[in-house]
Amino acid sequence: MNDRIVFDNVSKFYGEILGVNRVSLNIPPGITTLVGPNGSGKTTLMNLMTGLVQPSSGSISVLGISPSNATEFFRNVGYCTQFDSFPRGILGWQFVLDSLLLHGIPKPEAYKLAMEALERTRLGDAAGRKIAGYSKGMRQKIRLAQAIAHHPKVLVLDEPLNGLDPVARAESLALFQELGRQGMHLIISSHILDEVDRISDRVVLITGGYLVAEGNIHQVRQEVRDKPMQVLIRCDRPEILASKMFAVNHCVEARLNVDGKGVFLRTGDIDQFYFMLNGIAAEGLVKIEGVTPADDDANAIYQYLIGTDGGAS
């Protein structure tokens, strides 16, 4: 068993409609965010990964296991889908417990794991109620509880923050971070880029069924060379810093921060930019308090590569 999720030249067509085309990915453990507009193929990728749909061509393996080997595959994989439907009349705890019993886990242990998952998703109090009476956020949580209950090594989450209030979102993100730190694979699709961006190790950008970019967020951002990077430099004399930077021709745009104690600079060569910035700091003309990339996140990458506002998709 290896530790990778591998898509090898995978295509999926629904009749004549393209799902995804020639996707090759090699995803290491950690948190990976699938980013793309509606209908871009994110859910198709997740469904392919878990065997809910079969590739038209190419092959997929998760930790070296094919989805066709359901017994071993789903011991290692949990999938929290977007489908907001449940077996009729089922209670919260029963839903999670049924799933665990299908693993062949003895009932007392399965019950313990179910309660643990329900507590982790803060659903302990509602576990005895019918899922049909749950709010959208609670239904999202119960799906998450079912997906994590058997302690999978790979967790696939399709829009897991949909329907959650801000507190529940923060709790879920903290849980994802904790799971990521434990060495798990987390594959998350979400259009709430600002929030998932904080916890993602890498992004996979997809649009129209085609893979646009993948990798570490900072690396991907640096690859987008036609969009100069924006950096916020907090300093005591932003005007002087901006003029110095323009003088050495590494900046294409400068904008003062609203509080007057910093400047946003855009540069086409970030490595040279930092080198020059060190020089200016060493000269002592400007006292630099902090340097922060301002568009080095999934949202900015989304805007640059896909062309619309990621938060609005």
Partner 1 sequence: MTPRNAADVAALLKQQPWGLWWIQGRRLTVIELRRTLFSWRASWIYFLAFAPTFIIFLHLLIGGHPASAMAEDTGILAGIVQFYYIRLGIFFGCLGIFSRMIRGEMVERSLHFYLLSPVRREILLLSKFAAGGITALALFVTAIVADFALMFAGYGSAGRDYIFNGPGLGQLDAYVLITVLGCLGYGAVFLLLSMIFRNPTPAAMLVLGWEAINPVMPSLLQKLSVASYLRHLMPISVPGQGIFALLAIETEPVSGWAASIGLVVLIAGVLTYSCYRIRSLEIRYTTD
CA 89 to chain centre: 33
30: left (phi over 0), alpha (psi -120 to 50) or beta: left
Work out how close the CB of 57 gets to partner 1 at its nearest, in angstroms, rounded to a whole number: 15
Shortest CB 75 distance to partner 1, Å: 5
The partner residues of 11 in beta bridges, in order of sequence, read 57
Shortest Cβ distance from residue 138 to partner 1 (Å)?
Answer: 17
- State in angstroms the smallest separation of the CB of 51 from partner 1: 7
Bridge partners for 230 per DSSP: 266
Q: Which two tokens stand for residue 172?
A: 């879920």
Q: Which of helix, strand or coil describes residue 87?
A: coil
Shortest approach of partner 1 to residue 70 CB, angstroms? 6
- Edge to edge, the sheet with strand 77-80 lists 77-80, 154-158, 185-189, 30-35, 202-207, 210-216
Q: Which residues bind partner 1 (CB under 8 A)?
A: 14, 47, 50-54, 68, 70-75, 79, 81, 83-89, 98-99, 101-104
Q: Which residue do the tokens 């995978």 mark?
A: 10
Pairwise CA distance, residues 262 & 48, whole Å: 47
CB nearer to partner 1: give 71 or 307.
Answer: 71
Cβ(91)–Cβ(99) below 8 Å: no
Helix, strand or coil, per DSSP, at residue 113: helix
Q: Which strands make up the sheet holding 262-267, listed edge to edge?
A: 251-256, 262-267, 229-235, 288-293
CB half-sphere exposure, 32, CA atoms < 13 A: 26
CA nearest neighbour of 303 among 36, 40, 43, 44 = 36
To the nearest whole angstrom, how small is the minimum distance from the Cβ of residue 272 to partner 1?
A: 49
User: Least distance to partner 1 from the beta carbon of 236, Å?
Assistant: 57
Task: For partner 1, give the closer residue by CB, 105 or 126.
Answer: 105
- How far is it, in rounded angstroms, from Cα 282 to Cα 311? 40
Beta carbon nearer to partner 1, 163 or 268: 163
To the nearest whole angstrom, how small is the minimum distance from the Cβ of residue 107 to partner 1?
10
CB 96 within 8 A of CB 118: yes
